[in-house]
Structures are given as C-alpha cells and as structure tokens.
Structure 1
Amino acid sequence: MTATRPVPAPDFVGYPEVRRGIRALLEARPGSGHRPVPACPEWTVTDLLEHLTGIAERVLARHGGTPPPAPDEPLGVPALLDRWDDVGAEVDRRLAAAGGASGEIMVMDAYTHELDLRAALGVPPPAEHAAWAPSFALLVRGFSGSLAGHGLRPLLLRTTGGSTWTAGTGRPTASVTASAYDLYRALAGRRSVGQLAGMAWSEAPGPWLPAFTWGPFAPPVRPGG
C-alpha cells in the first residue's frame, strides 16, 4: 500500500478504547439492549455485545488464558459489559506480553461494531480513535486481495481529507473519493451498491463494485449508516 501511513503499532492498540467507548454509549442509554442494530440486521444491541464478548473469550483461549464459565442464563447489557471488560483486560495483557503481534482482526471487528452501534443509536463517529488506522489498513489489505481475485486494476482510495491508499498491486489509474468514515464503512460491507456507486469515482465504478464483497463482508440491500 502507498498511503499516508500511521506509525506501526501493536495490533491490539485501540481495543481498550473500543470497550470504553461502547460502555459509555450504553451506560448513557439504559434499556437499549433490545434495540435493533441495522448494520447487523438480525442483531439487537445485546446480541452485538454477546458477539464481542465471545470473540474476546476465543482470543483469550487461543493465547493460553481461561475464559470465565458460561453464564447459567443470558446476560443483560450491564453484565455483558462487565464480562467483556474482564476478559478484554486479560486479552490486552496477553497480547502485550506477546509483543502485540496478534489481535488485528479482533480490533477491527470490535471497532466496526462500535460504529454499527453508534449508527444504531444516532451517535456520530468519534473524531479520532486509536483503532481506526490499523483497522482501516486491515480492510484495505482484504479489499486488495478481492481486487486481485476479481482480476481488477488497482484503485486509489482517497479521503476527502487528502489521505490516500492504494488497493491492489501496481500503480492505480482510477480512484474513488469519500470521507474517511464512508470509505471505512464501504470496505466493511456497510454501504449498499447504490451508495458505493454514488461516491466520487474517476471513472465508471461498475467493474470494481463486485470486489466490495469479500471475506465476511457484502454490501447490504438497504443503505447503511
């Protein structure tokens, strides 16, 4: 990738910030556990937290830790936040001890879901976040692989703030420009085909649109937040 690149940092940097951000959002909005999360159509806020906690437990086990026993009954939002914090703090310690050479997918997933939650609650994205740069870089790498898999030319990703990344291999001759937030959401499967096509492209976007379906991501049927 060619880009305005952040200084390399351990992959897990930003994970505690995600946990703090989600806790602050939900503690300020008690009773929101049953609220739907449109970016994850089958999930409520509680389901989203269960997912995040489960991912943290699997990462902890993979790094030699012992997750807490499964609860006897479904947990509500406050208990899930506490459980995620407890497991997440141990994950932080183990990843730090391992030199920070793991955890990038977990961080990207958690940060993406923080943005999902903010959209569901009508809260704007944070102006700055420690998880943004490493998560965006991971998404660009995945999208680059999708471009290659589809036999497509490389694409210059440009934010309205002037930062650039090259997705794919070689010198790009085409570009797409959008806000940093919209580019992130596009790469993470949170922008519909219509929204993708409506970004500022240097040429007709049709050939590149199939590449936005990759890994676990695909453009939603309805416009995303």
Structure 2
Amino acid sequence: MTDAKTSADLYRASRERVTTAVRDLTPAELDQQVPACPQWSVHNLVSHLTGVAADFVAGNLAGAPRPPWTAVQVETRRNLPIATVLDEWAVVGPKLEELVVSGTTSHPLVCSPWVDTGTHEADLHGAIGSGRPPTEVWLAVLDWMLDEPGPLTVVTPDGTYSAGSDGPDAVVRTSSYELFRAIFGRRSARQIQEWEWETPEHAVNWSLDLARLPQTSVPLAD
C-alpha cells in the first residue's frame, strides 16, 4: 500500500496539474460537459475536488462519497468564479496533505485522496484534452482497489490484478489504464467485452461486474 508521504505527494501533484489545466479556461470551456460525469461541467468537477478537500479537512465525512454529499460541494460553488474555487483549493489542499501525513486519520478516502483526484483528472482529460494522469497514479489506484484475491485475473503489461465478485473464474488481458478507467465505471460493458478474454463467454458477465461505481453506457475515449 502507498505510504502517507507518497499519498500526499500524489495528491499534491494531481491538484497542481488540474489547477494549471483549468485556471485560464474560458467560461465556455468551463461550461463544457465532462463525458465521464455527464451531469457535471468542468467547473462542477473542480468544485467537487475543492469541496472534497474542504470536507475532509473539516471532518465532514457523513455520506461520503455518495452523490448527495458531492452535490453539496458542487452547488455551494456553482456561481463562484473558477479563480475563487481554485484559491480555496490552494488553501484546503495543503491542509489535507498535512492531515494525510500526520497519521491522525485512518479513513481510507481521506488517507488516499489521490484516488478520487486521479480519477477526475482523467475525466477532465476526456473533456478538455488536458492530459492523462501519469502512470504512477493509475498504478497506485489499481494497487489500492485490487488488493484482494478474486476470481477474475486481469493481466496488464504492468502487473497482474485480481477482482472479487460472484463472477466465474476468468482471465483477461488489457492495459493498466483501461483497467483503471473500467474499475470506476468509465468504460462501457461493450468496451470491457472487447478486451482479450481467454474464455469469451465470461466477458458478458464480467463486463457488468467489474465496475465499482455506476457504469457508463456510452463508450468513452480518454
């Protein structure tokens, strides 16, 4: 598992990349829909990331990370200029990094904020072409998410992972990035079925069982 300092460093780097990517966007660009989060604009996505940091620092964890919890983060900042939202993140983000390093919390989401930020950094890339998060982010996410034995074995160029569910024993090959996106519902069932399955009939079952969050029905390319 990722140690506290690495967690803080991964989060800080992602926060800085996202900030750089959106700070100078036009109002029209900020209003663009994020394909992986179709109910959010780019501005909404950044509001969520800022709100997560603020809530984690404040200890507001009731309901995290369910939609009603995130909806408040977005709504509270909906009419604020992006510079104001980013300025807030520049204050609460370092406080969250200090909290992670302090070791005073054991909450898995608070201890690993880069999981959410890295996922949304990839979402942002799908909206404005800002660039995928670096390989170290999605490999860390896979290690964090897929750390238990399971009946599905996913072989990637970077490692072999197991996923647990009620599905049958199966083996599939894909890239680490595609697995990272699929785990969080950012790949459709059809896209997952197109991976290299050793037993093709297992693809249909696992294409629905793999995602840990609601799955997109629209193929995404990011």
Q: Could you say which structure has the higher helix fraction?
A: 2
Change (3 A) 1:58 1:72: closer
Do the aligned residues in 1 keep the contact of 2:77 with 2:85 (CA within 8 Å)? no
Q: CA deviation at 1:221?
A: 1.3
Q: Which residue of 2 aligns with 1:184?
A: 180
Which one of 208, 211, 214 corresponds to residue 210 of structure 1?
Answer: 208
Question: What letter matches 2:51 in structure 1?
Answer: G
TM-score with structure 2 setting the length: 0.77
Superposed CA deviations along residues 98-151 of structure 1, whole A, max 9, x for unmatched, are 26744245321111001000111124414434x33332223325xx69xxxxxx
One of 123, 126, 139 as aligned partner of 1:133: 139
Partner of 2:52: 55
Instruction: Rate the CA distance shift 1:211–1:104 in 2: closer, same or farther, 3 A.
Output: farther
Q: Partner of 1:43 in structure 2?
A: 40
> Closer, same or farther in 2 for the Cα pair 1:108/1:127, shift >3 Å?
closer
CA RMSD of aligned residues (A): 2.8
Structure 2 CA distance for partners of 1:72 and 1:124, relative to 1, 3 Å: closer
**Structure showing greater relative contact order (alpha-carbon pairs closer than 8 Å, 6 or more residues apart):** 1
Report deviation, 1:48: 0.5
Q: Distance in 2 between matches of 1:52 and 1:39?
A: 15
Preserved contact between residue 46 and residue 77 of structure 1 (Cα < 8 Å): yes
Identity of aligned residues (%): 27
Where do 5+ consecutive residues of structure 2 fail to align?
61-74
Equivalent position of 2:123 in the other structure = 116
- Off by >4 Å, runs of 4+ in structure 1: 70-73, 99-102
Unaligned runs of 5+ in 1: 1-6, 64-69, 146-152
Counterpart Cα distance in 1 of 2:170 and 2:186: 22
Distance in 1 separating the partners of 2:123 and 2:77: 28
Contact (CA 8 Å) 2:155, 2:172: kept in 1 or not? yes
Q: Using a 3 Å threshold, how does the CA distance of structure 1 residues 71 and 213 change in structure 2: closer, same or farther?
A: closer
Q: In structure 1, how many angstroms separate the alpha carbons of the residues matched to 2:120 and 2:18?
A: 9
What is the CA–CA distance in structure 1 between the aligned matches of 2:164 and 2:23, rounded to whole Å? 41
Whole-angstrom distance in 2 between the partners of 1:72 and 1:173 = 45
CA gap of 1:157–1:46, structure 2 versus 1, over 3 A, is same
2:146 is paired with a residue whose SS is helix
Distance in structure 1 (CA, Å) of the matches to 2:58 and 2:123: 26
Q: For the residues of structure 1 that align with 2:78 and 2:209, how far apart are their CA atoms?
A: 41
SS in 2 for 1:108: helix
Q: Secondary structure at the match of 1:157?
A: strand
SS in 2 for 1:14: helix
Cα distance change on mapping 1:163 and 1:76 into 2, 3 Å: same
Pick the aligned partner of 1:168 from 143, 156, 164.
Answer: 164
Task: List per-residue Cα deviations over 1:7-37 (Å, max 9, x = no partner).
Answer: 7422444110111110121135344211110
Give the number of aligned pairs. 198
